[in-house]
Amino acid sequence: MTITPTRQRPARLLATLPALWLAGAAQAQSPSQAQQYDCLIEPYQRIELRSPVTGLIKAVNVERGSTVQKGQVLIELDSGVEAATLAAARYRAQMQGAVRSAESRSKFAQAKERRFDDLSKQKYVSQQDSDEAAASAQVAEADLLEARDNRELAQLEVRRLTEVIEQRRLRSPVAGLVTDRTQNPGELAQSGDGAKPIIQLAQVHPLRVELVLPVARYGTLAVGATATIEPEAPLKGRYTAQIKHIDRVVDAASGTFRVRLELPNPDGAITAGVKCRAGFAGGRPAGAGDASAR
């Protein structure tokens, strides 16, 4: 399964942020004058699900908007040939005939070697006959080892083919939502980076909140501090998010820096992809550490 996480912001949202953030920066010349700033609520990550192998799509088990769980099978490619090969490999791995036959020949050859060795000591058989019996015992022992090795190889082939079939069952790497579905059963799934994704997913628990703050706020916030998030109308609600990253570099042109927060969304009640307002406490949190990214 080829997974392409998309942690970049959508272009259309990025286009709207600078004007909003710069307006907020102009109104907030000091940390005490304004405590709310424009922000965006986004999925924690966006994932494009591609097939690791080329194959005919047998089933797509979800639709756009479906809720999925981590590990859930979303797409199944046709694996009839691989399944038949796996069945044959399993049968070979369970075959006992070759090993038992080799064991019998080895036991017989060893017994013959012991008899000829005793007879050779008593001068009833020649040394050559005794040596031939010893050589036959060694060959029989080698045949037994080969039979056991072949059975072990068959078991390894079962494991390999099992993985091959598992590759043709695409599972969700995260719990989240299906945001797009581009192919249907009967179509050919292509592999490789150039192939189009079959399904696109969004992880919505937790959510990411992205905002840009004026440089006047730099040093007043710390990783681990909290903020109150209010989605734009008509959405309602007030939620608490925690700062997870603060840029170490300030943008000189705009006099701003970026902050990323994490917003829990266990029941999926908060909509992703919307604008919001973020409110911070007036001062630096007591006992706060370094305000830089960790």
* pLDDT tens digits, 180-194: 999 999 999 998 778
pLDDT of 239 over the 50 cut: yes
Helix (H, G, I), strand (E, B) or coil at 150: helix
Distance between CA 172 and CA 174 in Å, rounded?
5
Q: Please report the pLDDT score of residue 20 as a whole number.
A: 47
pLDDT value, residue 156: 94
Indicate whether this model's pTM tops 0.85. Answer: no
Residue type, 252: A
- Exposed e or buried b per residue across 140-157, where buried means at least 16 C-beta atoms within 10 angstroms of its C-beta: bbebbeebeebbeebeeb
Provide the CATH number for the domain formed by 2-48+199-279 in this structure: 2.40.30.170
Give CA 72 to chain center in angstroms: 12
Average pLDDT over residues 45-72: 95
Res 57 pLDDT > 80: yes
The predicted pLDDT at position 13 comes to 45
Label residue 287 by pLDDT band (50, 70, 90). very low
Cα 182–Cα 185–Cα 186 angle in degrees, nearest 5: 110
Q: What is the pLDDT of residue 133?
A: 73
Interval 27-46: pLDDT, tens:
444 433 447 899 999 999 99
| pLDDT recorded at residue 167 | 93
Residue range 138-163: average pLDDT? 87
Mean predicted lDDT score pLDDT of the chain? 83
Q: Could you tell me which residues come within 8 angstroms of residue 119 by beta carbon, excluding any fewer than 6 positions away?
A: 125, 130
Return the domain boundaries, the chain: 2-48+199-279, 80-167
In terms of pLDDT, which residue wins out, 227 or 140?
Answer: 227
Q: Which two tokens stand for residue 198?
A: 């079959």
